[in-house]
Amino acid sequence: MNKLEHLLSPITIRNMTLSNRCVMPPMGTNLGTRDAMVSEANLAYIKRRARSGVGLVISEILGVHPTGAVGIGIYDDKFIPGLQQMAEAIHKEGPMAVAQLHHAGREAFGQLKKGTAIGPSAIPSLVYGIPPKEMTREDIQMIVESFGQAAGRAKKAGFEGVEIHAAHGYLLTQFLSSLSNQRTDEYGGDFRSRARFVIEVVEAVRGSVGDDFPVLLRISVEEFIKNGYTAEDVQTIMPDLVRAGVDVLHASVGTHGSPGGVTSAPPEYEEGWNTWRAKKIKEVVDIPVIAVGRFSDPRLADEVIARGDADMAAFGRQILADPDFLIKAKEGRFDDIRKCLACNQGCIERLMLEKNGRIRCAINPETGQELLYPEGPAAVRKKVWVIGSGPAGLTAAVEAARLGHNVTLFEKENQVGGQIRFAAKIQAKDVYGNWISWLAREAEQQGVTLKTSTEVTDQMLETCDADVVILATGGKNILPDIQGAGQKRVCSALQILGEDTVPGKNVVVIGGGLTGMETADFLAEKGSRVTIVEMLPQSPVLKFTGHGFQLHKRMREAGTRLLLNTQVESIEEGSVILVSDGKKETLAPIDQVVIAVGMTPRTNLEKKLKENNISYSIAGDASQVRRIIEATEEGARAAWNL
């Protein structure tokens, strides 16, 4: 058994001793109140994470000034009581608590719209495309002082330390970057001069909290953007930052404008991929360094620390997916850890794309819903049928059984997993298959009776003795009305991904959504020459998402064509006739056509459930075809509402 002796060893930073070297890094939640106060939801969320047994918990971003506050505030004494509750919630579970001090600069969307956002230069945000107001020297001094004052409030609130956020394209990074800082005064120019603002912020924080209080700095060691600053640039200012008062360096990477979503790397990036940048920092300073970058296996983090590449490791998204991961690792139960998929659906995209979106995890429905999550057992034990074993059905079965219900899960195929079985065939997405296997084991351990190769029929529902049925039958393929679609060489995306059909040499994929793109990616990897036909004028797979960026990149490298604003008129013998802007085009030779235009809910059993007055609920794609996060959340809610 791996004892994790390096990861679990204590470390002392000034007057703060951590019981181990596992760090929960700062992650935005949007759980705070509308007036930027700490809420009960914040406290429940952070308490659940602190219960993990990590040595250090760093709060989410705390805004030091209204011009750049995008979450909870720390720019006024009125925030201290709530922050004190947060620090106490962490302490009660064992870890040390550090408050992260933050200013968004030109990445504060609300302030950009109001015209109050500030930055080193009036250069538009790469994310929002709106320029901030260029900071005067008076503005710079005001923000420097705000960081110092905020640090004092954090100390007063009971945190053991503070972390200054100088990463990911926010204000301090904006000063470091020549792409956002084109000043001609002492705060612009070469890299050392552009770092002046960061150094002054550190000095102000150190002056505010005194010598016995740890000060951490999170920095993007590399900007990870064309013509951006490099790790070698950052090495030159490390001694200055240490002299200014930094005790620990948190070695992150990139900005929110960097390609490929590197700040929250997708599954295409291997675990611990960013560790070498922590090592670059350790080459020039003799203070502890935290490594960050898709850590989900504590054994890898232990190896990184043993090698001396870093002194601590941050488990961000992993602690959302499984707050108990470290407890399980200490007990040697590594296979029981629910490993993060790096899908970013709940922790990143939900916050960015949904109005008032609050943090979630696509595979852990408890995350962000700690106040709703029932500990169990249920007051009344019910007999429950769950029909379908995709993400919604398996999650519903696990949660219902956890709450004490008698659960039988039916799956018409000979194995569980639903659509995830096919998604797991895509490059780098084997983690999805691992998750489904984990979920199936959880169901068995919770006592779920699993019946595969068993299709529930209307006749079975006639004699159903369940108190409640959860319908999670997923979706079925949409078959477009295209001339020639009934030919033998026409197949579905699932037939290709399920490897029931041999890939052709020259293939047209009809549909450029995620399934179509991933199927094309799979085909290209097998050696097919692929053309994707999509009727929309823009790709439905967004390039700003990490996985979407990687798909588009691989498609370009493989020579795959993506024809937008185009429809298939007919499928002929050896060719496909396309129409775009009223003009026809013939693609030839074509020996295979793959249909991937989407799915529609499979609800054929609902009528019989109603006729027999059987209590039921619908979850996942059987309700509406969407993503994993909606499926698991609806599956969990169906179980919680029994």
pLDDT at 355 over 90: no
- Evaluate whether 164 touches 205 at the Cβ level (below 8 Å): yes
Region 298-313: what's the mean pLDDT? 98
Q: State the number of CA atoms in the 13 A half-sphere of 500 facing the CB.
A: 11
Region 368-378: what's the mean pLDDT? 96
Query: Mean pLDDT for the chain?
Result: 96
Are 434 and 547 found together in one domain? no
Catalytic residue list: 170
Are 547 and 449 found together in one domain? no
Q: Is residue 287 classed exposed, middle or buried when 0-12, 13-18 and 19+ CB atoms within 10 A define those classes?
A: middle
- CA angle 300/302/303 to nearest 5° reads 65
* CATH number of 310's domain: 3.20.20.70
Are 105 and 36 found together in one domain? yes
Is the residue at 146 inside a domain? yes
Confidence of residue 350 (pLDDT cuts 50, 70, 90): confident
Are 215 and 303 found together in one domain? yes
Last residue of a domain, one of 582, 597, 612: 597
Is the residue at 572 inside a domain? yes
Is the residue at 507 inside a domain? yes
| Measured distance CA(618)–CA(338) in Å, rounded | 25
Sign of the four-CA dihedral 254, 259, 265, 270: negative
pLDDT at res. 41: 98
pLDDT at 408 over 90: yes
Is the residue at 22 inside a domain? yes
Is the residue at 373 inside a domain? no
pLDDT at res. 1: 55
Are 543 and 558 found together in one domain? yes
pLDDT at res. 257: 86
| Measured distance CA(118)–CA(104) in Å, rounded | 9
| Measured distance CA(235)–CA(560) in Å, rounded | 40
Are 190 and 301 found together in one domain? yes
pLDDT at res. 233: 98
pLDDT at res. 374: 97
**Domain limits for position 231:** 11-353
Confidence of residue 354 (pLDDT cuts 50, 70, 90): confident
pLDDT at res. 50: 98
Secondary structure of 182-221 in the HEC alphabet? Answer: CCCCCCCCCHHHHCHHHHHHHHHHHHHHCCCCCEEEEEEC
pLDDT at res. 351: 80
Are 328 and 407 found together in one domain? no
DSSP 100-121: EEE--GGG-HHHHHHT--EESS
Are 558 and 518 found together in one domain? yes
Confidence of residue 590 (pLDDT cuts 50, 70, 90): very high
| Residue 463: other Cβ atoms inside 10 A | 7
Is the residue at 245 inside a domain? yes
pLDDT at res. 353: 72
pLDDT at 261 over 90: no
Is the residue at 15 inside a domain? yes
pLDDT at 183 over 80: yes
| Measured distance CA(90)–CA(214) in Å, rounded | 17
Last residue of a domain, one of 597, 614, 632: 597
Region 602-610: what's the mean pLDDT? 94
Are 443 and 580 found together in one domain? no
pLDDT at 259 over 90: no
Sign of the four-CA dihedral 443, 448, 453, 455: negative
pLDDT at res. 572: 95
* CATH number of 526's domain: 3.50.50.60
Are 418 and 345 found together in one domain? no
| Measured distance CA(202)–CA(244) in Å, rounded | 6
pLDDT tens sequence across 105-116: 999 999 999 999
Are 587 and 611 found together in one domain? no
Instruction: Write out the two tokens for 62.
Output: 């705390």
* CATH number of 406's domain: 3.40.50.720
- Evaluate whether 84 touches 147 at the Cβ level (below 8 Å): no
Is the residue at 367 inside a domain? no
Domain count, the chain: 3
- Evaluate whether 523 touches 555 at the Cβ level (below 8 Å): no
Sign of the four-CA dihedral 33, 36, 37, 42: positive
pLDDT tens sequence across 529-554: 999 999 999 999 988 888 999 999 99
Are 157 and 306 found together in one domain? yes
